[in-house]
Amino acid sequence: MSIVKNARLLATRGARLAQNQSRRNYSDEMKLTFAAANKTFYDAAVVRQIDVPSFSGAFGILAKHVPTLAVLKPGVVQVVENDGKLTKYFVSSGSVTVNEDSSVQVLAEEAHNVADIDVNEARQLLSKYQSQLSSAGDDKAKAEAAIAVEVAEALVKAAE
Amino acid sequence: MTNAWRAAGITYIQYSNIAARVLREALRTELRADAAKRNESHVKFTPWANGRPAPRQNQSES
């Protein structure tokens, strides 16, 4: 009984796979999954546009975008929902994946709504890390401070 | 991708850690304390011997 049932399940799954393969065209809808270690912002939600900052430059993603992989840079991710509502999030780092079926995954180590950034705090951090950079001894400490300065600059720019 | 930090031997994972920490530090006061908890992660090791977790003194040694 259960073998018959499993066989039927497998058969439907196989048929579905075959269907997907023959369809293999780009979807008109873009499904966004945007998550960070602290929060899930979108879970396969249909959105209109996403702008992401990456090491290969900032770029916008619409449905039918060419499949892409990119490494996130600290900065602002903008999400335009289907009703035209724009939300800005600050991401620390992570990755963005654009798949052939127009699904997009933005995975960040830390992400927050831009409104949750304290601009005065960000300015203080910027000057703190700038002085840390100028007083850094070895190359590693210098590089670490430079990263912090870069992030603080992006934070100030985003929060202003 | 020739970044200064990469030349100094820092990996993207380390870069990411620093970036995430700075972002947490810049949050509004009410969110900051909770976010700071994510700055550290803990790993607990339990050595196993003969299919059982080893006694405590072994655990602290390792």
DSSP per-residue string spanning chain B: ---HHHHTT--HHHHHHHHHHHHHHTB-HHHHHHHHGGG--------EETTEEPPHHHHHH-
Cβ contact (<8 Å) for B18 and A147? yes
Q: For residue A22, give the amino acid letter.
A: S
Cβ contact (<8 Å) for A38 and B5? no
Chain A / chain B CB contacts < 8 angstroms: 89
Please identify, in words, the CATH class of the domain defined by B4-61: mainly alpha
DSSP reduced 3-state for A132:
helix
In the prediction, which pLDDT does A12 show? Answer: 54
φ and ψ at residue B47, rounded to 5 degrees: -75, 145
Residue in the structure block whose two tokens are 């654009």: A98
In the prediction, which pLDDT does A27 show? Answer: 66
Average pLDDT of span A136-155: 94
In the prediction, which pLDDT does A107 show? Answer: 97
A80 pLDDT band, cuts 50/70/90, is: very high
What is the C-alpha separation between A61 and A78, in angstroms, rounded? 10
Average pLDDT of span A33-55: 95
DSSP reduced 3-state for A57:
coil
Instruction: Provide, as residue numbers in chain B, all residues whose Cβ is less than 8 Å from the Cβ of A155.
Output: 22-23, 26
CB nearest to B31's CB, from A109, A116, A142: A116
Average pLDDT of span A134-146: 92
Largest CA-CA distance found in chain A, in angstroms, rounded? 74
pLDDT digits (tens, 9 = 90+) for A1-25: 455 555 555 555 555 554 554 445 5
Task: Tell me the pairing of strands A103-108 and A30-36.
Answer: parallel
Tell me the residue ranges of DSSP E strands in chain A: 30-36, 40-52, 59-61, 68-72, 75-81, 86-91, 94-98, 103-108, 111-113
Q: For residue B36, give the amino acid letter.
A: A
B62 pLDDT band, cuts 50/70/90, is: very low
B60 pLDDT band, cuts 50/70/90, is: very low
Average pLDDT of span A138-156: 95
In the prediction, which pLDDT does A7 show? Answer: 55
Cβ contact (<8 Å) for A147 and B35? no
Cβ contact (<8 Å) for B26 and A152? yes
Cβ contact (<8 Å) for B27 and A116? yes
DSSP reduced 3-state for A133:
helix
A26 pLDDT band, cuts 50/70/90, is: low
Look at residue A112 and tell me whether its pLDDT is greater than 90: yes
pTM of the model: 0.78
Instruction: Provide, as residue numbers in chain A, all residues whose Cβ is less than 8 Å from the Cβ of B15.
Output: 93, 147
Q: For residue A43, give the amino acid letter.
A: D
Average pLDDT of span A92-112: 95
CB nearest to A144's CB, from B10, B28, B29: B10
CB nearest to B15's CB, from A90, A93, A121: A93
Nearest to A77 by CA among A102, A57, A58, A55: A58
In the prediction, which pLDDT does A1 show? Answer: 46
Instruction: Provide, as residue numbers in chain A, all residues whose Cβ is less than 8 Å from the Cβ of B31.
Output: 112, 116
